[in-house]
Amino acid sequence: MLAPSPPYHLLIADDDPVMRETLVEMLRPEFETTDVESGEEAIEVVGQQEIHLVLFDVHMPRLTGIEALRVVKQIRSKLPSILMSANWTEPLRAAALELHPSAVLQKPISRRELVGSVTTALQETYAG
């Protein structure tokens, strides 16, 4: 796979509009972002656009972040991902780790932690 050149395009899927806005602001100007409010929309975007990394909120209605990531991995198995939640339980964390995300983050997330996790995931996936 040919490594994409920056700016990297990130997809943020979170049903909370305030959290989506916060994540977008935290990731600018280093990254281009697209944000959606559901797992279903995230799957659609991954199938239609060049996305370099996807961030999923775990707790979304209809399709959880874990369920959406499971489908995304069928479409693009090597796409790096980050799962986020304020309410991790051990069974939830175990289910998340089975999908091999680049990171599993606890909300609230600091800008340093978020940008660091995204940067590390991108480097591990796309560095020559």
Distance CA 61, CA 78 (A): 25
CA 59 to chain centre: 13
Q: Which residues pair with 10 in a beta bridge?
A: 33, 53
61-92 pLDDT tens trace: 999 999 999 999 999 999 999 999 999 999 99
- pLDDT confidence band for 1 (50 / 70 / 90): very low
Distance CA 13, CA 29 (A): 19
Nearest in space to 61 (alpha carbons), one of 15, 18, 108, 11: 15
Q: Measured on CA atoms in the order 22, 12, 40, 91, is the torsion positive or negative?
A: negative
Which residues lie closer than 8 Å to 21 by C-beta, 6 or more apart?
35
| Cβ atoms within 10 Å, residue 52 | 21
pTM of the model: 0.94
Give the lowest-confidence range in 4-13, 23-32, 67-76, 104-113.
4-13
pLDDT at 99 over 70: yes
27-63 pLDDT tens trace: 998 999 999 999 999 999 999 999 999 999 999 999 9
